[in-house]
Structure 1
Amino acid sequence: MEMPHSALLLVLAATLSVAVAYDPLDPNGNITIKWDVMSWTPDGYVAMVTINNYQMYRHIMVPGWTVGWTWARSEVIWSMVGAQATEQGDCSRFKGNIPHCCKRTPAVVDLLPGAPYNQQIANCCRGGVVPAYGQDPAAAVSAFQVSVGQAGTTNRTVKLPKNFTLLGPGPGYTCGRAKVVPSTVFLTPDHRRKTQALMTWNVTCTYSQHLASKYPSCCVSFSSFYNETIIPCAKCSCGCEHKSCVRSERDSKRLAVTGKHARGHSGGAPAAALLQCTTHMCPVRVHWHVKLNYKEYWRAKITITNFNYRMNYTGWTLVAQHPNLDNITEVFSFDYKPIVAYGSINDTAMFYGLKYFNDQLMEAGPHGNVQSEVLMRKDAGTFTFRQGWAFPRKVYFNGDECQMPSPDAYPFLPNAAPAATSAAALVSSAVVVASLMFLIMA
């Protein structure tokens, strides 16, 4: 039986909605890999490869990027500066001068910090870690130089590599085809002369959380000064299938001593998660507490807790969407930048740690949390504590959308709610904070 045309469109739309990498809060976010052919060699060319992270709040974490591709013909990599291929491959057909890599499908990684000076190049050697563009635009780039042999030696004879792949700490990135673009123009160091690449092509890679993982990687819980109820993360927010967990830091250390603790985050492949046992089973929980109410302002407290004993989140980012975030007056112990996703609508904020203070979210344990408070001026037209208005609409941690509580479970406003800060409100807030500290350490 033939499927009706309208039904077929619905099926296709449902399928594409899972696979398409589109983030409404960062619609233009992508990672662009640019190849600039800088010079020709007797059997190929020398290219500068630049990886630009144009994602506003998603960075590439440890163990860093791995870029792969398939050569169009029988090209080889003679040498590299600022990066290296993970495998040399079969170079037995060469006599004397042996290439750096002979694989038809090379995989390339960044060099680690402290690499020999003669192997370094600008924007290399950070172990493949690349910050988000919105967090640090100047540092959101990584680069290496590659000398390619057995390739074309003119713009017409060079064949573009294909089947590009980009891996960070896990899957989720899909790369398009390489496309020839206008050659990049460079300025000489004295900024008095322009030079031009002999040939340039771009590859655009986008991230999809649906492709990266079946479940979210974080969840959100709520509380408020006007209601003693704490709304926890939903049960199994991040999935409870086939996941082991430990009940205390002592159990985590015991596993390390007995050799069951996988290699950590100091290098190499990412270690398998070792989570603290919780009902939500998420590596990260974000708690939003409506703390105080003033005449013209209100205050919220944000706490991020790490439940993974095998992961430090260095350079973490937190994004929240709320209509009153356009009136932020002060953020007390995080850095902050607004994100304008739709024209002039400024309802989204990106928070991140202060450098050398709390820009690293430590692994699970007594130090595995960071927190700050946000003071906002009330929007006279829309401000209310009713119907959960004071809680965020969306929350992202490190670029992944977190599982939110059900809207019907939000802390409700009592019939006789205080209009401004009172002793009763302060006492109630203190009770909630004490309860929160218990939850954080549990």
Structure 2
Amino acid sequence: MDPSKSKSRFQMQVYKMPPNLNRSELAPPRNWKISGAELNPEYQCGNPVRVSPSESPDPTGLPSNTSAIASWQIVCNITRDTTRKSKCCVSFSSFFNESVVPCQTCACGCSAKPERTCSVAEPALLLPPEALLVPFENRTKMAVTWADRKHLSVPNPMPCGDNCGVSINWHVSTDYRRGWTARITLFNWGETDFADWFVAVEMDKAAPGFEKMYSFNASSLDSVKNTIFMQGKEGLNFLVAEANGSNPRKDPKVPGKQQSVISFRKKATPGIKVVDGDGFPSKVFFNGEECSLPLVYPSSGFRNEFSFVSMMFLMLLPIIWMWQ
């Protein structure tokens, strides 16, 4: 995404060994492979193909180029393993529902063998917002208490965790006549720091209304339809790894965290229904990896039911007044 960081160079020395001592016969290294970092994909490389000798600036600083003796080109493409699990996940929350729809059970993989202490089949439990700030292994009590308050069933055994190193929360904050806002929060639960991270969100109906992002740099991509690309601002684009709490013996671990508000205008998206799902992304990418999304949106049923009851009450009020 950053052209200035799209190239790298390294040097290796190759020696001939008997019986291949002919200096005029050159054979490049084969079996190239590029292995991604913590969240980046794997690449499958083809065989070297001889090309015209490449040129490099003269190492002495003279205004001339030095040609290589021979050059080869190796093309590497991202491999797409349909069976591979995600490496990041997304949770949804909103101002019109108190519960958070968390990442899916085993979104980033679980043991192939049935777990004794948790279920790989049960859907993840709804959570209170504060549960997003603690590791999964410390959420059990909070999830059970929340389920009791909301009169939700609790399976036995409980659902397994998502097992994702990076999680992203998308929160719809406001919805008014001319526009609406959301908040995106990145959590790093892994041991690896992410410098120069980037996030891309695909929004099927809302992207044309993108207005501004406040704590991140962001823009709507012209080359990719309905996609908003975002990065941390210069000097702040560093998502640190998980760290111990202030009291490691008692406090749970603390994730690395980055957060920003994003605003939209409705003028370019007439008819958009933010609370019915249009305010949530259909795809989210972190450092090029597609994240796992919840299967449902936060419910606005209570709000709709309240509006319906209120409307019926207002309709019946004149009738009641006439009979008095």
Q: TM-score, normalised by structure 1?
A: 0.49
Residue 204 of structure 1 and its aligned partner are, at CA, apart by 1.8
* Matching residue within 204, 225, 242 for 1:363: 242
* Matching residue within 151, 156, 174 for 2:44: 174
Highest relative contact order (Cα 8 Å, sep 6+), 1 or 2?
A: 2
* Matching residue within 253, 262, 265 for 1:377: 265
Residue 160 of structure 1 and its aligned partner are, at CA, apart by 3.0
Distance 1:386 1:291, change over 3 A: closer
Match of 1:405 in 2: 294
Match of 1:93 in 2: none
Structure-1 separation of matches of 2:6 and 2:270: 39
Structure-1 separation of matches of 2:62 and 2:283: 45
Summarize deviations over 1:285-307 as a string: whole Å, max 9, x none. 11111111233221110011122
Given that 1:293 and 1:299 are in contact with CA atoms closer than 8 Å, whether structure 2 keeps it comes out as yes
Match of 1:319 in 2: 200
Match of 2:214 in 1: 332
Distance 1:382 1:215, change over 3 A: same
Residue 153 of structure 1 and its aligned partner are, at CA, apart by 4.3
- The amino acid of 2:28's aligned partner reads L
Distance 1:209 1:316, change over 3 A: farther
Summarize deviations over 1:150-208 as a string: whole Å, max 9, x none. 27645xx3223321122233672211111123333446698965554443211122223
Given that 2:197 and 2:231 are in contact with CA atoms closer than 8 Å, whether structure 1 keeps it comes out as yes
Match of 1:299 in 2: 181
Structure-2 separation of matches of 1:361 and 1:352: 14
Structure-1 separation of matches of 2:26 and 2:5: 31
Structure-2 separation of matches of 1:374 and 1:195: 49
Structure-2 separation of matches of 1:181 and 1:210: 31
Structure-1 separation of matches of 2:22 and 2:6: 31
Q: TM-score, normalised by structure 2?
A: 0.65
Q: SS at 1:149's partner residue?
A: coil
Q: How many residues align structurally? A: 248
Structure-1 separation of matches of 2:106 and 2:136: 16
Summarize deviations over 1:260-306 as a string: whole Å, max 9, x none. xxxxxxxxxxxxxxxxx973222221111111123322111001112
Given that 2:97 and 2:298 are in contact with CA atoms closer than 8 Å, whether structure 1 keeps it comes out as no
Q: What are the ranges of 5 or more consecutive residues in structure 1 without an aligned counterpart? A: 1-133, 249-276, 419-442
Structure-2 separation of matches of 1:416 and 1:293: 18
Structure-2 separation of matches of 1:392 and 1:307: 22
Whose radius of gyration is greater, 1 or 2? Answer: 2
- The amino acid of 1:236's aligned partner reads C
- The amino acid of 1:311's aligned partner reads T
Structure-2 separation of matches of 1:191 and 1:376: 53
Given that 1:388 and 1:411 are in contact with CA atoms closer than 8 Å, whether structure 2 keeps it comes out as no
Structure-2 separation of matches of 1:139 and 1:180: 26
2:109 aligned with 1:239, yes or no?
Answer: yes
Structure-1 separation of matches of 2:62 and 2:270: 51
- The amino acid of 1:395's aligned partner reads V
Given that 2:239 and 2:257 are in contact with CA atoms closer than 8 Å, whether structure 1 keeps it comes out as no
Q: SS at 2:74's partner residue?
A: strand
2:14 aligned with 1:148, yes or no?
Answer: yes
Match of 2:280 in 1: 391
Q: What are the ranges of 5 or more consecutive residues in structure 2 without an aligned counterpart? A: 118-134, 139-158, 244-252, 308-324
Given that 2:94 and 2:298 are in contact with CA atoms closer than 8 Å, whether structure 1 keeps it comes out as no
Residue 231 of structure 1 and its aligned partner are, at CA, apart by 1.5
Distance 1:289 1:152, change over 3 A: farther
Stretch of structure 1 that moved more, 233-242 or 277-286: 277-286
Summarize deviations over 1:219-260 as a string: whole Å, max 9, x none. 111112233342221222222317999846xxxxxxxxxxxx
- The amino acid of 1:206's aligned partner reads N
Match of 1:270 in 2: none
Distance 1:148 1:411, change over 3 A: same
Structure-2 separation of matches of 1:363 and 1:340: 35
Stretch of structure 1 that moved more, 287-296 or 333-342: 333-342
Q: SS at 1:143's partner residue?
A: coil
